[in-house]
Structure 1
Amino acid sequence: MASPYPKAINPSQTRIGWIGTGIMGAPMASRLLVAGYSLTVYNRTLEKALPLQSQGARVVTSPIEVARHSDVVFTIVGNSRDVNQVTLDPSGVLPGLNSGGVVVDMTTSHPALAREIFAAARAKGCWSVDAPVSGADTGAREGKLAIFAGGDGDVVAWLKPLFDIMGKATYMGEAGCGQSCKFANQITGGAVLVGLSEGLVFAEQAGLDLNKFLDAVRGGAAGSKLMELVGEKMIRKDYRPTGYAEYLVKDLGMALDTLEETDEQRTVVVPGAALTKQLYCAMVANGDAKIGIHGVKTVIERINGK
């Protein structure tokens, strides 16, 4: 199988569907429009899709209608339940997708659901790819997302012209592997933000100038992409979301649940991820579910009486 279609992807003949126009989905879809692709768009809250309509997208009222006008449908919604609904429900994408069509789920969702969607797609002669992303809203706007792709390798390669508009896709393996990679990414990134938060709180308590602290360490082994993206924002207490705290709780929860479901020979113990989840749960309990994930610094400050 070289590709789902005999023709290569290009703006003049490949019809794109897009479901989900939130903090990540809207700029990602916008980049495809700017690249010349025609888009059919659905969002549960219609108003959030109107900016894309002003750029030339067709806005419709159901996922199945998106599928009927598309060769490739991208979904990026809230959680696994939403993915299941927009993809597998009678009014979802797969019932409306023509044979040979492709659904690409870019939501952070459960690997088992990705495998279920892949099997359902193949049963009707279609394909699915799980392709969650990392890079926050900045990466979405600039087309610099890291994309973790699972499914059929030839289909992922065929989709490369579209992925390249949004960032860089890495093929991780069979269906579900993209989601597993995203979980590992979230475990790593969450721990980095906790460490950065503790470093900033410690440095402040020690009387250091926090901007000088960042400048001093950013070029060393403790430096990171996350430090560059949000370090100065954390100093300014600018916690506007690039990704919601409640979503990281969801992601880490799914990751830990997945570990519990694996067979005994593959069990992994990740105590740092469990602690990171607890700290982000504290953010949600403090009423900060909708602020940025870098706001975990507020939890460390509260623990220290600030």
Structure 2
Amino acid sequence: MKEKITLAKKQTIGFIGTGVMGKSMAHHLMKAGYPLHVYTRTKEKANELVKEGAIWESTVAELTSASDVIITMIGTPADVKEVYFGKAGVIENAKPGTYIIDMTTSKPSLAIEIYEKAKEKEVYALDAPVSGGDVGAKNAKLAIMVGGDQNAFDNMLPIFNIMGENIILQGEAGAGQHTKMVNQISIAPTMIGLCEALMYAEKAGLNPESVLGSISTGAAGSWSLSNYAPRMIKGDFAPGFAIKHYIKDMKIALESAQEMNLTTPGLSLALEMYEELAERGWEESGIHALIKYFE
């Protein structure tokens, strides 16, 4: 008699936040066969996923109760607090043994608070912000920076692998968010330099595309150069990562740096420039619209 082979049932995932990046991330999870429940404040943003088979939940509490794993990809630290805390929040309504993963770029101190409160409820919490923008989300090639316990990370790695390809446990709770701040700080002067370089090429009468062909494989080469410079040249400022969100991230990084008595003049300058652009009406555009500051 042949032994009957049973396949392990995939965990039900609850996904909160289906914006530019969240929608693609949730889509990959569904495509991989995970049952998906979704919630977002603007239901229309989840319509496409619902048509593909996701189950819409009208509240955070209902989504949490129906899920084994909760993933959040939302806006600000204030939004994260609202979703995770309180009687209607994730932590209060999660079953013991549930995994909660905040992939929002948020405060390291808030990630630690979520971890500690979740632990009291026998819930496993990871902070796992990402980098790679809309392109990385669509192609499932996000870099995922994780903070939390090793066992929780190991158990969630199959899910992370569906959304990204550079996934590293950076340390205890909050370490993922601290790593994302390193990422955001490094981008700030890079974007300024990239804009200055393209403006120089233009003033010198050079062909921008030809210049990129020469410098992209040398010491000047970078992800930003390869992905943002072509958009700048074409005048395509659609938001893979919007200026308003980057301003939020830079403020978190600046606050965290100040708490460690660290000065970050490059970050401070970039923040001033982006805030001026936002005041001029560019806050919904991608961060590569910084070129408009120079024009």
TM-score (norm 2): 0.95
SS in 1 for 2:138: helix
Residue 90 of structure 2: aligned partner: 93
Residue 73 of structure 1: aligned partner: 70
The Cα offsets for residues 137-167 of structure 1, whole Å up to 9 and x where unpaired, read as: 1110111000000011211111010000000
Q: Distance between the aligned counterparts of 1:181 and 1:53, measured in 2?
A: 33
Identity %: 39
Which of 281, 288, 291 is the aligned partner of 2:282?
Answer: 288
What is the CA-CA distance between 1:227 and the residue it aligns to? 1.2
Which of 9, 23, 28 is the aligned partner of 1:26?
Answer: 23
Contact (CA 8 Å) 1:245, 1:293: kept in 2 or not? yes
Residues 239 and 258 of structure 1, relative CA distance in 2, 3 Å threshold: same
Q: Distance between the aligned counterparts of 1:195 and 1:126, measured in 2?
A: 44
What is the CA-CA distance between 1:231 and the residue it aligns to? 1.2
SS in 1 for 2:96: coil
For 2:203, the aligned partner's letter is Q
Q: Number of paired residues?
A: 288
Residue 3 of structure 2: aligned partner: none
Residue 5 of structure 1: aligned partner: none
What is the CA-CA distance between 1:190 and the residue it aligns to? 2.3
Q: Distance between the aligned counterparts of 1:68 and 1:230, measured in 2?
A: 41
The Cα offsets for residues 89-142 of structure 1, whole Å up to 9 and x where unpaired, read as: 211111111001111000000011101100110011111100000000111011
Q: Distance between the aligned counterparts of 1:222 and 1:104, measured in 2?
A: 35
Residue 111 of structure 1: aligned partner: 108
1:1-306 matches, cutoff 5 A: 12-167=9-164, 168-262=166-260, 267-301=261-295
Q: Distance between the aligned counterparts of 1:180 and 1:13, measured in 2?
A: 31
Structure 2 residue runs without a partner (length 5+): 1-6
SS in 1 for 2:173: coil
Q: Distance between the aligned counterparts of 2:205 and 2:138, measured in 1?
A: 37
Contact (CA 8 Å) 2:188, 2:266: kept in 1 or not? no
Structure 1 residue runs without a partner (length 5+): 1-9, 302-306
Q: CA RMSD in A?
A: 1.1
Q: Distance between the aligned counterparts of 2:232 and 2:286, measured in 1?
A: 10
TM-score (norm 1): 0.92
Q: Distance between the aligned counterparts of 2:226 and 2:258, measured in 1?
A: 34
SS in 1 for 2:126: strand
SS in 1 for 2:237: coil
SS in 2 for 1:29: helix
The Cα offsets for residues 59-108 of structure 1, whole Å up to 9 and x where unpaired, read as: 01111111101111000000100001111121111111100111100000
The Cα offsets for residues 32-68 of structure 1, whole Å up to 9 and x where unpaired, read as: 0000000111000011111110111100111111110
Contact (CA 8 Å) 2:202, 2:208: kept in 1 or not? yes
Contact (CA 8 Å) 2:10, 2:33: kept in 1 or not? no
